[in-house]
């Protein structure tokens, strides 16, 4: 039988797999476990939704601007031109362009985390699907990254917008911050995300929609959250 590591022993000692935790209790356990890690772990959420992800009309895909941000500096590239290019730069975009930016992408220069495009720029961006798509960078109107309002889109991306989509099991995954945020900030971000998810429930989804919410850290276990503890 394999010998348990110190971390595995601590997890066994601290985590009750049969329990549904309050946000405060879950955060306390996760941050205690994170004290034995030599880097700043992220705090993440997984939400099991009552959808059939095999059906296109039940795929949940959207974005949420977390009120407390993500704790990460986000580099934003915008495909646009003319007046919108000026607006994007003024809003804080790191890279702005059209054909010139497309050429940089083709060369492998992808020093950005989010790509935004105005509708007229999609003729250029559409040619980059094989490069941007696998990296999760392809702009999409469902998550607000194809829009004529570049100022708002750039502002949201910089402020801590997270994008998500149900996986094949009907689960969405999103970051909520890191272990140094404090429980109030994590709770506020979590509840903002859940509220947005409830707003976009597919009309064809039957039965219980919000089935399970779990909090975890980069290296930590997933802790089930008591849904009645959420102020939503």
Q: Which CATH architecture has domain 19-69+161-229?
A: 2-Layer Sandwich (3.30)
Please write the tens of the pLDDT for every residue from 40-84.
888 999 999 999 989 999 999 999 999 999 988 899 999 999 999
As a whole number of angstroms, the distance between CA 171 and CA 161 comes to 19
Q: Which CATH architecture has domain 76-159?
A: 3-Layer(aba) Sandwich (3.40)
Q: Any residues with CB less than 8 A from the CB of 73 and at least 6 apart, and which? A: none
Q: Any residues with CB less than 8 A from the CB of 158 and at least 6 apart, and which? A: 74, 76, 91, 92
pLDDT reading at 2 higher than 60: no
Q: How confident is the model at residue 1 (pLDDT cuts 50, 70, 90)?
A: very low
The DSSP-derived string for the chain is -PPPPHHHHHHHHH--TTPPBPHHHHHHHHHHHHTTSSS--EEEEEEEES--TTSGGG--EEEEE-TT--SS---EEEE--THHHHHHHHHT-SEEESHHHHHHHHTT----SEEEE-GGGHHHHGGGHHHHGGGT----GGGT-B-S-HHHHHHHHHHTEEEEE--TTSEEEEEEEETTS-HHHHHHHHHHHHHHHHHT--TT--S-SEEEEEEEESSSPPEEB-GGGS--
Q: Residue 212's pLDDT is what?
A: 96
Q: Residue 40's pLDDT is what?
A: 83
Report how far apart, in Å, the C-alpha atoms of 179 and of each of 37, 109, 140, 199, 218 are: 11, 31, 30, 28, 10
Pairing of strands 223-224, 210-217: antiparallel
Where do the domains of the chain lie? 19-69+161-229, 76-159
Say if 19-69+161-229 and 76-159 have the same CATH topology: no
């Amino acid at each position: 039988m394999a010998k348990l590591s110190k971390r595995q022993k601590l997890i066994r000692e601290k985590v009750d797999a049969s329990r549904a935790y309050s946000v405060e209790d879950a955060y306390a356990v996760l941050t205690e476990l994170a004290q034995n890690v030599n880097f700043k772990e992220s705090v993440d959420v997984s939400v099991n939704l009552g959808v059939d992800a095999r059906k296109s009309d039940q795929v949940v895909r959207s974005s949420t601007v977390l009120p407390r941000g993500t704790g990460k500096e986000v580099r934003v590239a915008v495909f646009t031109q003319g007046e919108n290019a000026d607006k994007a730069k003024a809003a804080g975009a790191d890279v702005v362009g059209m054909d010139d930016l497309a050429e940089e992408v083709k060369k492998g220069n992808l020093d950005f985390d989010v790509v935004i495009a105005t509708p007229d720029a999609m003729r250029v961006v559409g040619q980059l699907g094989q490069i941007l798509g696998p990296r999760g960078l392809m702009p999409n109107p469902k998550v607000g990254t194809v829009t004529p309002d570049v100022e708002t889109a750039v502002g949201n991306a910089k402020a801590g917008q997270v994008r998500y989509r149900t996986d094949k099991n009907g689960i969405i995954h999103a970051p909520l911050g890191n272990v140094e945020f404090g429980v109030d900030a994590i709770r506020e971000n979590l509840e903002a995300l859940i509220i947005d998810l409830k707003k976009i429930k597919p009309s064809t989804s039957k039965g219980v929609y919000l089935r399970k919410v779990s909090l975890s850290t980069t290296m930590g276990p997933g802790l089930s959250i008591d849904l009645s503890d959420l102020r939503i």
